[in-house]
Amino acid sequence: MYTYFIAGHAKLPQGMAARNLYDSITITLELDFKYGVIVDASCTLATEHGREYIRQLLRGYSLQDGMDDILDKLKKHYRGKAGQAIQAALKDVFLQYDMVQSHE
């Protein structure tokens, strides 16, 4: 399987633990090149539990299906302070993915 690495970024809100480490959140994805399926994911949330939760939430989703379903899933299941920042970072990832796909 041929994969590639892609990243998205967004500003974190004030008052978050992760804000002590980073000004922004970064979401990185390893994608299957042919189908756009998320093979693995990581993010810069402060806790290992939060990072693992986002990883499990995103894995297996195909970016070829667009962002609406994954954003809805995130809104429904992730209730932490970083929710809007994670959504913004995912939108940034999708923009990066879209640019890669349009050049292939």
Taking residue 17's Cβ as centre, other Cβ atoms within 10 Å add up to: 13
* pLDDT given at position 22: 59
- CATH, domain 3-98, list 3.30.390, 1.20.1250, 1.20.58, 2.60.120: 3.30.390
Those residues with Cβ within 8 angstroms of residue 103's Cβ, 6 or more apart along the chain or in another chain: none
* pLDDT given at position 102: 84
- Global pTM exceeds 0.75: yes
How large is the average pLDDT for residues 35-50? Answer: 93
User: For residue range 59-72, what is the model confidence (pLDDT) as tens digits?
Assistant: 999 999 999 999 99
pLDDT > 90? residue 43: yes
Q: Measuring CA to CA, how many Å separate 7 from each of 20, 29, 30?
A: 21, 6, 9
DSSP 3-state assignment of 14? coil
How large is the average pLDDT for residues 7-26? Answer: 73
* pLDDT given at position 12: 77
* pLDDT band for position 100 (cuts 50, 70, 90): confident
Q: Measuring CA to CA, how many Å separate 100 from each of 3, 5, 34, 93, 95?
A: 13, 11, 12, 11, 9
pLDDT > 60? residue 16: no
